[in-house]
Structure 1
Amino acid sequence: MIQNAGTIWSIIKSVLAALFGVQSQQQRRQDFNHSSPWPFIIIGGIIIAILVIVLIAIAHQATAL
């Protein structure tokens, strides 16, 4: 379980770094050597969905003022 949690955390960090464009070349190579792209795709989708929900909430708050 600890190994899996560390892996999930490293995938989240990789996805966030790639999203903001600050991921290192070495980390990108390590990510591409990962056995499956699905964890990156799923976590990336979740992070994008959270970002969209937060932006919608901010827009609703701004228009309610």
Structure 2
Amino acid sequence: MYSRTNAVWQIIKSVLAALFGVQSQQQLHQDFNQQSPWPFIIIGGIVIVGLVVILIAIARQATAI
């Protein structure tokens, strides 16, 4: 059994792998067998918002030079 911390890291790894398109079929099936999709949706939203914020910061830094 996974502890709560390990489960969160596993969800983060799954979200990042899916985002970059490198998730294995085995992991995909394991993710879809979870009871609720909400942890994946919430962490996925946080990751996307973080990525957008980083890209905006890079663009602002590049245009300020």
TM superposition score normalised by structure 1:
0.97
> In the alignment, what sits opposite 1:35?
35
Question: Which runs of 5 or more residues in structure 2 are unaligned?
Answer: none
| Distance (Å, rounded) in 1 between the aligned partners of 2:57 and 2:30 | 35
Question: Which runs of 5 or more residues in structure 1 are unaligned?
Answer: none
Alignment size in residue pairs: 64
| Distance (Å, rounded) in 1 between the aligned partners of 2:34 and 2:12 | 14
Q: CA deviation at 1:48?
A: 0.3
| Distance (Å, rounded) in 2 between the aligned partners of 1:59 and 1:20 | 21
| Distance (Å, rounded) in 2 between the aligned partners of 1:30 and 1:23 | 11
Instruction: Give the % identical residues.
Output: 70
Letter in 2 for 1:51: L
> In the alignment, what sits opposite 1:15?
15
Q: CA deviation at 1:3?
A: 0.3
Q: CA deviation at 1:63?
A: 0.4
TM superposition score normalised by structure 2:
0.97
Moved over 4 A (4+): none
